[in-house]
Structure 1
Amino acid sequence: MNSNFGHPSQPVFMVDSGRGHPKQHRYYHQQMPRHTEPPLVPCWTFPPARAEIKKRDQGRMYAGMAWVVTLLLLLVFAALGLGAYQILKLQFEVQHLSKKMEATQMPNIAPQKQVGLDSAELNRNTQKSAAHLIGHAYQSASSGIMKWEEKFSEAFTKGVKYINGGLQVNETGLYFVYSRVEFFSIKCNPTDYYVHKVCRQRNRHNQTIMEDHQEGLCKEHSKNAWMTGSHLGSVQQLQQSDLVFVNVSHPDLLSKNYHSNYFGLFKIQ
């Protein structure tokens, strides 16, 4: 009879061999000893090992975070230190520049007397010498100098004297000198020509400073009237008391228009 050692045995009854009836009922509940399995060796290392690994991982993570925080703090302190160094450097450069500027300046402690110009002298210094002459041009046969209107319409003179058709400057400097004349004739000849000059008189000596010369103004056997103009202008270095005037070759052919003939100058510097 096979027995299961893992469970209690079944009850056993004793019977009389002669009568086939039980002589007495005896119940034996025999508790058979359990089949004991080999004792298990407790594994005390597995759960603690996992906990230990987990603790170690957490420790490494905390250590890494600590290193990151430390590096960030070091970077912050380094940036603050660099900023402080730059500020100190700028302050040093500003102080050095201020001392240098103070050294280059010459302070004048002594009181100075302010001297002002009177109104007449101030106006003379602020106003530039200028003149503009217009009009029915006429040239003197004896002097060869054209005459102009000095006070008619737009004509004026400021800081310049008008003397017998010429303009005399009162101070040395650079002047822009200009002149325009217009010639007109009913008859035309191919050999006709004209000369337009601007001259300067210095120490009683005359010198041409600008000149325009044209010829061949019309065709041969032409019966049409002709008209032409000449314009001169340039910057000249004039000295005090220089006289500037205009001269033309054919004063009888000058136009009678006031605004077609003009002459002037103005001081640049």
Structure 2
Amino acid sequence: MISSLGPELKQTPINSVKTMEVSVDMLQEENRNTNYNLSFRHAQDRSIRRLQWIVAFCVACLCVLMFLTVYQIFGGVICDRKNKVHSEPYKAPGRDHNYATEKPRAHLTGTRQHELNKDLQWESQNGLAFIRDGMEYVNKCIQIPKDGYYFVYSKVSFRPGCKKNSIVTADIRRLNHNYPVAEILLSGLSFCVGDSGFQPIYLGALLELKKGDTLKVNVTDIDQVDISVDHKTFFGAFLVQ
């Protein structure tokens, strides 16, 4: 009886040990699987969070871009309107509305003289000549439309030939109802230099003028003035400030 139970008793601990090893292996495998699943979930969560941050950043950038676009569009429109308001000059009613904000200017060129006097006659419309923004050509004079500082200039050229040692003079004068006589503003002279004749007389200066002032050019020998082309003899003024 005892001898027959001996092998069974001997085999039982071995089987228990094997069973325990299998259980340990299974637990270890299960732990590995659990750790793997946890690692995978953590990695997946990190990826999801990273993706969420990327999406949020892209949305923020898109919002900023849309804001800048809208600002530029509406800001540009507002600036254009402001520029138009500031750039468009005020036009006062009446015939002289242009020179209220623009700069009066005139450039006259010598023309044929119909009278034998010292006051040169000028062309005010054709060729290089023009009158702009309130300036007027009246009675062989430039009439000033508004107070200000004007640059006034003239050039008088002469035909070839003259008497030896002779002199010719030219000047720019101002007339106004406040002055009893014409006032000489600029003057110059030229000596005869033989066969080549008189040298041109250039005059020019910045002057303070008043509304209603009239400017004219006088020359002592009007018959010698060269008016063959526009750039030989001219007279002008323009508002500086």
TM-score, reference length from structure 2 = 0.54
Percent identity among equivalent residues?
A: 15
In 2, distance between residues paired with 1:44 and 1:152? 124
Which runs of no fewer than 5 residues in structure 2 stay unpaired?
Answer: 1-6, 68-90
Matched AA of 2:44: V
1:49 pairs with one of 9, 12, 24:
24
Q: Are positions 1:134 and 2:77 aligned together?
A: no
Q: Is the 8 A contact 1:201 1:242 kept in 2?
A: yes
In 2, distance between residues paired with 1:64 and 1:208? 104
1:238 pairs with one of 209, 219, 224:
209
Q: CA deviation at 1:148?
A: 0.5
String of CA shifts for 1:81-129, please: whole Å, max 9, x gaps. Answer: 9968x97xx99xxxxxxxxxxxxxxxxxxxxxxxx987xx2x5313757
Pairing of 1:52-63 with structure 2 (within 5 A): 52-63=27-38
Matched AA of 2:98: T
Q: Is the 8 A contact 1:135 1:262 kept in 2?
A: no
The equivalent residue for 2:173 is 199
Higher relative contact order (CA 8 A, sep 6+): 2
Q: Is the 8 A contact 2:124 2:137 kept in 1?
A: no
String of CA shifts for 1:190-223, please: whole Å, max 9, x gaps. Answer: x6665543232342265444455666x85xxxx6
Matched AA of 1:246: V
String of CA shifts for 1:54-78, please: whole Å, max 9, x gaps. Answer: 2212211211222233344455279
The equivalent residue for 2:119 is 146
Gap change, CA 1:150 and 1:253, over 3 Å in 2: closer
Q: Is the 8 A contact 1:139 1:247 kept in 2?
A: no
Gap change, CA 1:210 and 1:117, over 3 Å in 2: closer
Gap change, CA 1:49 and 1:194, over 3 Å in 2: farther
Q: CA deviation at 1:263?
A: 2.0
State the SS of the aligned residue for 1:146: coil
In 1, distance between residues paired with 2:151 and 2:163? 34
Higher-strand-fraction structure = 1
In 1, distance between residues paired with 2:23 and 2:185? 119
Gap change, CA 1:236 and 1:41, over 3 Å in 2: same
Gap change, CA 1:199 and 1:64, over 3 Å in 2: farther
In 2, distance between residues paired with 1:252 and 1:267? 31
Higher alpha-carbon deviation: 49-58 or 68-77: 68-77
Gap change, CA 1:47 and 1:192, over 3 Å in 2: farther
The equivalent residue for 1:263 is 235
Higher-helix-fraction structure = 2
1:166 pairs with one of 126, 141, 152:
141
Matched AA of 1:147: L
The equivalent residue for 1:178 is 153
Q: CA deviation at 1:255?
A: 2.2
State the SS of the aligned residue for 2:159: strand
String of CA shifts for 1:220-245, please: whole Å, max 9, x gaps. Answer: xxx64246334445554421221211
Q: Is the 8 A contact 2:120 2:218 kept in 1?
A: no
Matched AA of 1:44: T
Which runs of no fewer than 5 residues in structure 1 stay unpaired?
Answer: 1-35, 92-115
Higher Rg: 1
Q: Is the 8 A contact 1:169 1:243 kept in 2?
A: yes
Gap change, CA 1:188 and 1:54, over 3 Å in 2: farther
* Number of corresponding residues: 193
Q: Is the 8 A contact 1:197 1:211 kept in 2?
A: yes
